[in-house]
Amino acid sequence: MTVNRRATARSLVWSTAENGGLALISFVSLIVYLRLLSASDFGLYAAALALVEVLGVIVTMLFHNALVQRPEITERHYDTAFCATLLLSLVMALACWALAPLFAQLLHRPNAVAVLAWMALVFPCSGVSATLVARQRRDLEFRSLAIRSLIGRVVGGGIGIAAACLGAGLWSLVLQQILIAAISSAVLWMSAARRPRLRFGYAEFRQLIGFGTLSVSALLLSTSIRRIYTLIASVLLGVETAGYLNLSFRVVDVFWAIAATAVSQVALPMLAGLQANPARFKRAYQFSTQFSCLVLYPCFVGLGAVAPDVIELLFGRRWLPSAPYAMVLGFLVLVQAPRLLITPVLTALGRPRDPLLGLAAELVFMLGLTAVLGMRSLPAAIAIWVASECLLALVSTGILRRATGYGLLEQFRGVLKPLIASLLMAASVIEMRLQLPLEWGPVVRLAVLLPVGAIVFSGAAAFLDRRLVADFLEFVRTGFDRKWKRTETP
């Protein structure tokens, strides 16, 4: 698998387009739904979606990283993964149907039985295309993935919104979730040049399942921790209060998907292609971490600084109780962004077991704090979450150092200057916001605050490290320049 700077840049452009488009469509849908649904209905849907997404990770990702990372791959590997994934998707659907009464009992909502049962159809709809997704990511064919995802989200989301406007209520969200998975898979299946067959190889299964189990365990923990926390909050605080918590997560997650998910998706095949060259591998890791922080820090710190205005503008004043928590989660990205590449690095090096250690420590710590201190309010819930994320950052740094030998300075090279520029931006925006007249609406406040934040960050970043900014702009230009022919590596 050949890796070069141009291929990486173009893959990142398409992955960003995919995730950015999905995030934009999801955000528009979220605005519509929150204006039509009650906090209680949204909290019930969030709890059901949390469970489905946790189990869905197993279905779609059990063989994904093993297929992407493996140096040598055959068609029989893809066919074996396809057959096993189809069987697993049916098992997960049956499990949800069996668990639905218990789920409804925990939430004290009888209609949760039908909600979870219908949402279980997502598993076979997603499982049929999971192997195709792995093949195209391995080959850095992110354009096809972007197109199929956007088509599925636009059509499924549009039908769901129409159903909500016609009074379908909670069921419009369930319908949307099923249609997005089904349409995305259908588009990818019809457009794929090579499709898997119903053929199973025991030798190939054994080669994939060991790595896949460890890799999906880490991904499952990473994905499910927030979902588990949402479920716990739904049970302890009630679905209405949990609805505010979930909105604060969703506001940040929607924007996180635009850049962070794109970086992670491209990083694994890129780094896997460089695993035989330690020097280039290290440069690629540092390059990606620097640029990730340069992009993510101002976006999320800025979002945190103007969270009350964003929530009031998009969702209405009745959702303002979520604003302080969205602000905290936005600033939390200062801790999360530098470790964004750690899991792809360890997976590319064939060490899928290592990320499990940090994630398991975070989960145990989070559950322990919840059990000892209790979760009696939203501030307590957010405080426990922030403490758990900080612990994960410390543990992950140590794990990466043990696996690669990269010291702290090597891991965080290039992070300090984007951090300083982002904090200067946040201080300027918050101070400016305090000086604005109270009677100004959110539109006017954002029209003033966003340009101020952009100017302060751009000026501070250019003053602190002009070379880093220039390199980033050149990398972005490379991703859009079809005539660029060099094969310079990151």
pLDDT digits (tens, 9 = 90+) for 249-304: 877 877 776 666 666 666 666 677 777 788 888 888 888 888 888 888 998 999 88
Confirm whether 168 is domain-assigned.
yes
DSSP 55-74: HHHHHHHTTHHHHHH-SS--
pTM strictly above 0.75: no
Cβ(8)–Cβ(270) under 8 Å? yes
CB neighbour list of residue 277: distance below 8 Å, 6 or more residues apart: none
- Tell me the average pLDDT across 69-97: 89
The tally of domains found in the chain comes to 1
Confirm whether 394 is domain-assigned.
yes
Give me the amino acid identity at 63: F
* SS3 call for 110: coil
pLDDT bin (cut points 50, 70, 90) of residue 411 is confident
What pLDDT does residue 5 have?
55
What pLDDT does residue 2 have?
45
Confirm whether 472 is domain-assigned.
yes
Confirm whether 407 is domain-assigned.
yes
- Tell me the average pLDDT across 137-155: 74
What pLDDT does residue 424 have?
94
Confirm whether 485 is domain-assigned.
no
Q: Which domain holds residue 451?
A: 5-480
Confirm whether 125 is domain-assigned.
yes
Choice among 70-74, 184-188, 227-231, 341-345 with the minimum mean pLDDT: 227-231
Cβ(343)–Cβ(476) under 8 Å? no
Tell me which range, 26-30, 231-235, 475-479, is most confidently predicted by mean pLDDT.
231-235
DSSP for residue 259? I
On average, the pLDDT of the chain sits at 80
Confirm whether 490 is domain-assigned.
no
Confirm whether 389 is domain-assigned.
yes
What pLDDT does residue 479 have?
59
Burial 466-486 (b: 16+ CB within 10 A, else e): eebbebbeebbebbeeeeeee
Q: Which of 148, 153, 108, 107 lies closest to 128, judged by CA?
A: 148
- Tell me the average pLDDT across 117-124: 90
Cβ(245)–Cβ(237) under 8 Å? yes
What pLDDT does residue 8 have?
60
430 token code pair: 């918050």
Q: Which of 218, 150, 158, 243 lies closest to 188, judged by CA?
A: 150
DSSP for residue 198? S
- Residue 488 clears pLDDT 50, i.e. is over it: no
Q: Which of 37, 46, 33, 35 lies closest to 238, judged by CA?
A: 46
